[in-house]
Structure 1
Amino acid sequence: MVRYSPCDAKPEDLVKSHLMFAVREEVDVLKERIVELMERINHLEYENNILKKYASPEALQQLQHQSPNP
């Protein structure tokens, strides 16, 4: 059985704290990016609806026959 002294726990706690901080920071960055992307999606959907409203029937028909680009 391996026993750890209180001194052993301190470096582990520092590493754990550092990793948790780094993960929280990355999560915050990703949350901000998600918000930006959702706003962009909403704007593009709005533009798309306007363009579809004024597009010719031929143009709309062409769009229906095209596969979406990944």
Structure 2
Amino acid sequence: MPTHPSDLKEVARDWAIRVGDPAFDDWDALTRWLEADPAHLAAYEAAVHSADWAADALRAPKAP
């Protein structure tokens, strides 16, 4: 279990990346991790939001 906020962010980012994989099937483990601590859900949601923003930025048209 991460004890430092940056460690929690890293674990949350890892989950967000894994869930984005079409082959992801470890929903039970994700659910257990999210339910283990209220801070996990907040970190996961922030990671998903960051991933969405980054994906949108990569899809944006490039400036000439």
Q: Same fold (TM over 0.5)?
A: no
Higher relative contact order (CA 8 A, sep 6+): 2
- Structure with the higher helix share, 1 or 2: 1
The structure with the larger Rg is 1
TM-score for both structures, normalised by structure 1: 0.36
